[in-house]
Structure 1
């Protein structure tokens, strides 16, 4: 059985990341009107970062060592994004009296605070992150994003360990 080459896999993974971001922006945010919370935005940044790593890998199409470096970076970035998906799932599972207070809108964060303070607030999340706005098959959006990060990490690991 002939497996696809690394370039095809990398470009396909990049396209999947692009599709995930397009769905998040055009379907969930604009069509359904769901505003992303702080952790949602953080997860989007990680999806974009994984996608960019795979895109650069596919366009560069390096030899084995370079491919392993790209694969390692993509895998680590996917694991980083997974952390924030898990954090949001944890917030969604908290009893109502333990949910942190809601913060200001994201646009206001970058207007009122320094970039480092705003990014720190994005990474922490707030009460808005605990709200389940959408589900499919009983799994909330950060659960599906976690599934996506796990799949992307598996792709990265496959390319990292591939002979």
Structure 2
């Protein structure tokens, strides 16, 4: 039995997904600029946030290429929204660490490379999400907001964007 073609009115545009993907690419390029040009080495929580952004970008790109219908758009929106919600939690923890009094900041732990080579993955994840003293250091700022605050804003905006795209109707 031949499939009936889906009318254009039931198809979603690829553009909103492409916008989300390009926003994440731009942010990642900014992160690489801060790391390699401005010498702002990422802390463990920054690395976790980067991975979350990469996963969100992957799903935005996949949705751009797939151009899903209604149920597929909802699935992509849910996945990206879930990742954004996770990112909001990690960025919030990072912001909290940066605002702790100096005497309450956790001690710096071993480097990520060392942990990956010598610790079980569950312990590495636990340590990454816990944060360390280096996560409490404030580096680059723009309009008096640091990297974790900008990440939090990006997670809220991109997650909202993905959910909005998922539920919109033409």
Classify the TM-score, shorter chain. Answer: over 0.9
Unpaired runs of 5+ residues, structure 1, are none
SS at match of 2:14: helix
Unpaired runs of 5+ residues, structure 2, are 1-11
Distance in 2, matches of 1:114 and 1:22, equals 31
Question: Which residue of 98, 102, 106 corresponds with 1:96?
Answer: 102
Distance in 2, matches of 1:28 and 1:130, equals 17
Partner of 1:11: 18
Deviations 1:64-85 (A, max 9, x none): 1101110111111111101111
Runs of at least 4 residues off by over 4 Å: none
- The within-5 A match list for 1:1-150 is 6-25=13-32, 27-150=33-156
- Answer whether contact 1:6 1:159 (CA < 8 A) is retained: no
SS at match of 1:122: helix
Q: Give the RMSD, CA atoms, in angstroms.
A: 1.1
In the superposition, the TM-score normalised over structure 1's length comes to: 0.93
In the superposition, the TM-score normalised over structure 2's length comes to: 0.89
Higher helix share: 1
